[in-house]
Every structure is written in C-alpha cells, then in structure tokens.
C-alpha cells in the first residue's frame, strides 16, 4: 500500500515538473515573439534610393519628352508622279497610351544615381491627301479616304544624373537632378535617314555644333538656355537629301516648322524660331527627319530619325 502511494506521489511530482517546463517554454516563446515583432526590418537603402529617383524622373518636366504624341499640321509639298500622295498632305503620328512602353533604368553608386530613360512607341503614321492613279485618260488625281496609315514603331533614349545633396531623411531622400541629355529617336522597322549634327546660330550661341543628343550630358545650369524673343537659325546636317525635316515646338500648341531642303543633305529653318517671353518654363525643340517616301509613297514604310532638346529662356 505504501509502495503504491509512493509511486503515485512520484508520478504527480514528475507531472508538475513537466507542466512547469512547458509553461516556462511557452512564456519564453511568447516573450521572444514580442521582441521579434518589435524589431524593424533593415531598410534596403539602395532600393529606396532607386524608388525616390524614379518618382522624380516620372514627375520631372525634363523627362516628359513623350509629350510629342501626335501632330497634324499641314505642310506644302511638290506634286509627285505615280503611286504618290501629292498636294498638301496632312500627316501625323497617332500613339495611344497602350502603345507607349517606358523603361527607367537606375544605377546608384555612392552619391550619384545614373538614369537611362527608354520609350518604345507603337502606333500609326497617318496621311491624308491626294493620290495620282493611272486612268483611261492618263493620270487621275483622287482624294484618299480613309487616310493612308502605316505602322509606326520607334524608340527614344535619354539620360540623366542625380546627385545626393541632402540627407536620406530629407525630401526625395536628398536627390537632386544635376545633368540631363537630349533625346535621340529612330524608327525600328526601317531606319535609313539620319541626322549627323546640328548647327545653332543666334546671339547666345553664335556658332555652335551639337552631335548625338543622348550622348552628351548638360549641367542643369548650362543646359540650352536662350534669351526671351531671341531669333534662332538651325541647320541640320544629314546623310540624305531624299527626306523632309521639321522643327516641332512644345508647349507652343504643337508648332511644326518645315525646314528648307538645300539639296545637299542639309536643312535650314526658313521660318524664324523665336524664343517665347515667359522665363524658366521647360520647353522642347524636336528636330524631325522623315524619309520622303514615308510621306509621299503609299507603299513605303515609316522611316524616321529625330533629335529632341529641352531648353529654357534666361531670366529677364
């Protein structure tokens, strides 16, 4: 009888010990769980910097060169022969939002962030005009309706450099845009026309030649900066005379200025380009070279090369 009681007592003692151990274990798990939950995960500083810089790129007027989505100003052209569009064709680019594919690549090294901005666009090049066709009595002129459309596929590139000028706790984690390039654009399916260089002649830049807009980075304070109402002459040097060149201006209601074909691969603006009076508003000048058959031949494909520069007017 005593042995039985002693055995039962030992079992009870062991059960109590197990309960205490389990209770202590659960308590430790709870305490460590609380400590673990209270600990913040370390911040990925480089990832946070990239997000901050990308947000600035998307909000910056300097990187909004995709504003040139459409244009439809009429231009005067010489009459052609055969399967050509003639008269004064209306033409323009039509790109829906779904046709724009923007990629922003950012590399952070120390206090510098390097940005590569690439925009791929898909859409239509639309032409409305007249066409000469062979009829019973020779060539007949007929109006084209619906408009002639061609597939448009092009890529534009530009670059920028941001510098950290403040602390990570300040606005935009301390990043400031310090350098910016121009934009180079080209058609993807057919690309035979090319701008080689551009000459600027005006009071601010008496005789300046620019090459490869996306290959040169301007300091922000030294970016193209003209005087209000300044008159500018532009000469484009290209690889062909079998093309048409235009100067487009934003945001001046999508102004398109035809440039004179000098017959030797150079093009100059006969109409004056005058800088608006309002100071320190980011504007864009786009120099557009298009293969002549792109506009005047209903069968040929889209052939384009373009340079775009952001610019400011100086403070009055």
Q: What are phi and psi of 134, to 5 degrees?
A: -80, 120
Residue 103 has pLDDT above 80, yes or no: yes
Question: Who has greater pLDDT, 121 or 223?
Answer: 121
What is the pairing mode between strands 283-291 and 304-313? antiparallel
Q: What pLDDT sits at residue 47?
A: 94
pLDDT band per the 50, 70, 90 thresholds, residue 11: very low
Over residues 185-216, the pLDDT tens digits come to 999 999 999 999 999 999 999 999 999 999 99
Nearest alpha-carbon partner for 310 in 216, 210, 223, 234: 223
Q: 13-27, 105-119, 191-205 — which is least confidently predicted?
A: 13-27
**Count of positions (residues) in the chain:** 316
Q: Look at residue 80 in the predicted model and tell me its pLDDT.
A: 42
Q: What is the CA radius of gyration of the chain?
A: 33
Please state which of the ranges 45-54, 164-173, 178-187, 219-228 shows the lowest mean pLDDT.
Answer: 219-228
Alpha helices by DSSP H, listed for the chain, are: 2-38, 45-59, 292-296
Residue 267 has pLDDT above 70, yes or no: yes
pLDDT of residue 28: 47
pLDDT tens per residue across span 135-175: 555 545 555 566 889 999 999 999 999 999 999 999 999 99
Percentage of the chain with pLDDT > 90?
Answer: 51
Give the number of other Cβ atoms within 10 Å of residue 241's Cβ: 13
Average pLDDT over residues 273-290: 83
- pLDDT (mean) for 5-25: 50
Record the pTM.
Answer: 0.77
Put residue 180 in one of left, alpha, beta given phi > 0 → left and psi -120 to 50 → alpha: beta
Per the prediction, the chain carries an average pLDDT of 80
Measure the CA–CA gap between 195 and 185, rounded to whole angstroms: 10
Residue 30: is its pLDDT beyond 60?
Answer: no
**Mean pLDDT comparison of 12-16, 51-55, 67-71, 166-170, highest-scoring range:** 51-55
Task: Report the pLDDT value the prediction gives residue 8, as an integer from 0 to 100.
Answer: 47
């Amino acid at each position: 009888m005593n042995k039985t009681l002693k055995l039962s007592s030992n079992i009870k003692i062991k059960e109590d010990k197990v309960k205490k151990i389990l209770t202590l274990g659960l308590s430790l798990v709870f305490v460590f769980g609380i400590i673990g939950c209270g600990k913040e995960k370390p911040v990925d500083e480089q990832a946070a910097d990239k997000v901050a810089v990308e947000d600035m790129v998307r909000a910056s007027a300097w990187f909004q060169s995709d504003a040139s989505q459409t244009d439809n100003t009429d231009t005067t052209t010489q009459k052609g022969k055969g399967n050509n569009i003639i008269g004064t064709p209306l033409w323009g680019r039509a790109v829906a939002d779904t046709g724009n594919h923007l990629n922003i690549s950012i590399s952070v090294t120390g206090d510098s962030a390097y940005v590569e901005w690439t925009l791929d666009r898909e859409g239509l090049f639309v032409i409305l005009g007249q066409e000469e066709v062979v009829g019973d009595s020779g060539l007949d002129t007929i109006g084209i309706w619906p408009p002639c459309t061609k597939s448009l596929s092009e890529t534009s590139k530009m670059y920028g450099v941001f510098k950290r000028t403040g602390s990570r706790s300040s606005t935009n984690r301390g990043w400031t845009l310090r350098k910016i390039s121009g934009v180079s654009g080209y058609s993807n399916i057919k690309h035979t026309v090319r701008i080689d260089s551009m000459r600027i002649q005006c009071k601010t830049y008496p005789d300046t030649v620019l090459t490869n807009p996306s290959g040169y980075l301007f300091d922000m304070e030294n970016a193209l900066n003209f005087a209000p109402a300044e008159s500018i002459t532009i000469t484009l040097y290209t690889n062909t005379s079998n093309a048409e060149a235009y100067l487009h201006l934003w945001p001046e209601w999508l102004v398109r200025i035809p440039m004179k074909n000098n017959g030797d691969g150079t093009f100059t603006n006969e109409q004056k380009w005058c800088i608006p009076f309002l100071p320190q508003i980011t504007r864009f000048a786009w120099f557009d070279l298009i293969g002549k058959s792109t506009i005047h031949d209903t069968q040929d494909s889209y052939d384009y090369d373009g340079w775009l520069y952001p610019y400011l007017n100086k403070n009055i």
